[in-house]
Amino acid sequence: MALRDISAWSIRNPSIPLVFFTALLIAGIVSFLRMDVTNNPDVDFPAVVVNIAQPGASPTEIENQITQRVESALRSIAGVNSIQSTAREGSSNTFVEFEIGTNLIEAVNEVETAIDGVRGSLPDGILEPQVQKVNVVGDAIGYVAVEADDMTLEQLSWFIDDTVAKRLLKIPGMAEVGRFGGVDRQIEVILDPARMQSFGVTASQINAALRQSNLDAAGGLAEVGGTRQSLRVLGNSDTAYQLSQTQIQLGGGRSVRLADIAKVRD
């Protein structure tokens, strides 16, 4: 039977084409239902990061003695699209982007070879250079910079955490929102060794006292107004001054205030 006669044959014998079509339809539906779907598909981005650390070196020394030499070596690699570097105190970070379609394994090997070539001209105090491919799976898909002239850094950080992040998380499909930069509140307790020795108290005793007194805990259930209410024991200090008034037990009925043996600041 010639190919041009298939249509006529199918009209005269409709059962076989219908069965064949139904089988293909079922196979397609089953394949679609079993198809793997991921929020972050495995995609290789043609980019490599070079990290070189030199503890104690200033940003200027890092740039002149490490970053510039690394960039010069990487520019000779074929297929390099762009190079971006950051020099900070104690470390140099270089981001190398290759052209789309570049084999990432070969790119990493070429970068390692280039770094090995200039290794002898780098300062003696550097740590072993780290060459890694860029892994985009799970990374953020967008960054937003925020600036406010009428807020302090603390107020702006709290505004991002309490207002902006919560609104962004309400967007359908939004998985996570994180803040980079700004400040996070912490109360520092800076011990005075001389005064600690005069009172005969150790850092372990202070640590244990703060753990016991500066703690929120569950207090069980109670009947209040005919309803069951959960109780909590609130022991956290609201201010640095309140924490500084914590009594440290010395034994023998003696105690000392935290403010007398340490500086407490918010």
Return the CATH architecture of domain 188-265. 2-Layer Sandwich (3.30)
pLDDT band with cut points at 50, 70 and 90 for residue 39: low
Q: What is the pLDDT of residues 59-84, one digit of tens each?
A: 888 999 999 999 999 998 988 999 99
| Domain 44-135 is found in CATH 3.30.70.1430 | yes
CA distances from 250 to 148, 204, 257 (A): 48, 12, 10
Q: Average of pLDDT values for 170-195? A: 86
pTM, two decimal places: 0.43
Give domain limits for the chain: 44-135, 140-184, 188-265
CA distances from 68 to 39, 53, 156 (A): 38, 14, 36
With beta carbons less than 8 A apart as the criterion, state whether 133 and 108 touch: yes
With beta carbons less than 8 A apart as the criterion, state whether 46 and 99 touch: yes
Dihedral sign from CA coordinates of 62, 64, 67, 70: negative
Nearest to 88 by CA among 66, 58, 67: 58
Tokens, residue 113: 């070879």
% of the chain beyond a pLDDT of 70: 89
